[in-house]
Amino acid sequence: MFQNDETPYPAQPQMDEINKNISENSIDRAAGSSGHPPDDEKDALYTGPSGIVDQDAGVHYSTAVHEPVQRHSRQGGSVGRGLIYLIIVLGLLVVIGGSLIAIFGGFGTLPMDSNKVAVIYIQGTMITGNLPGGLGYATSEEISKSIQDAANDDNVKAIVLRINSPGGSPAAAQEIVTEIKKAQEKKPVVVSMGDVAASAAYYISAPADHIISNPDSITGSIGVIWMFEDRSDFYEEEGIDFYVAKSGEFKDMGGNWRELSDNEKQYSEEVVLEAFQRFVDEVARGRNMSQSDVKDLADGRVYTGSRAIELGLVDETGNLYDAIDVAAKLGGIKGVPTVSYANKPSWSRILFGGESNSGARAEEFLSYFYKSPFGRIIA
């Protein structure tokens, strides 16, 4: 029997052979070792014409038409996974960076904050030099730099000095006072007294536009001392002798191998009174008091914050945040000010610096002050 195109149907054995060839050829061409056709050929198989042609047999064999299969692009999936990994890495970097900022310095304020009050800490014995803060000493270089930065920042409208110091070197106080007065040409400076702000620490407080203390803060101690050490009895007992060749009578003044002569004692009194007068002048100018009134209070005694208010050495009682509010008002800030902490002691010194080691390094650095052959002048 023949079709209309006069092509005979193949016999049944031949038909079976054709089916077998179609099946094997489809698998052999497409599968590989897995038995599954690759993507490009599989797509052609599913989306091609409904007839499969066996060229060897020259026969058209009709098969069922399959619906196209939707597949995700492997390249698109890789890009998506890459973006996810990138987001995760960026998130971890933000967390780590924030943690490091919190540990090593605390969070600052944003540059666009235009109503800032800068708080500068003065903690510990005041000395000149650049020893890092947080080791029990307040160095004039670090504090002066912080005051300069705050004074030159147009976004800072006022400065608060947070003081916890028993005093120290008059020279260190004078360096800090110089920067306070420069800053006051641009913006107000307010002092907040903590536990103690006495002697040289009151020296730097006096020029401030406003002084706030706690009722039991210790302040005052207006005065100057010059200390000398006499170890001559010890050296004599140990059989240690000294020979000193000197160019002038006072050149070895303060040497601990002997006591001061009468002339040296008189001269030391003159030096102390000279330094004391500068202290008195600063207090009188800063507190708008007469020289005689200041000297009446300046016998070296300390005063509580409450008593200091009565004597005119302090303006009012309050804590650090009261001082910030006063500074904001004096600086013309309306509403709640933004507070920036210029040199706040950081956790890095607590976490990564041993107290004993840091103290040893500090004492070595300050040997020029504590082991001076000329004694120590302290306010």
Catalogue the active-site residues: 199, 251
The dihedral sign for the CA sequence 208, 210, 214, 218: positive
Euclidean distance between CA atoms 48 and 46, whole angstroms: 6
Provide the 3-class DSSP secondary structure of residue 142.
helix
Closest Cα to residue 240, out of 218, 221, 257? 257
Closest Cα to residue 323, out of 198, 216, 210, 241? 210
DSSP 282-343: HHHHHHT--HHHHHHH-SS-EEEHHHHHHHTS--EE--HHHHHHHHHHHTT--SSPEEEESS
Residue 129 zone, left/alpha/beta (φ > 0; ψ -120 to 50; rest)? left
Euclidean distance between CA atoms 371 and 358, whole angstroms: 19
Euclidean distance between CA atoms 213 and 152, whole angstroms: 27
Please name the amino acid found at residue 258: R
Take residue 184 and report the two structure tokens written for it: 């006051």
Task: Say if CB 224 and CB 170 are below 8 A apart.
Answer: yes
Euclidean distance between CA atoms 199 and 76, whole angstroms: 73
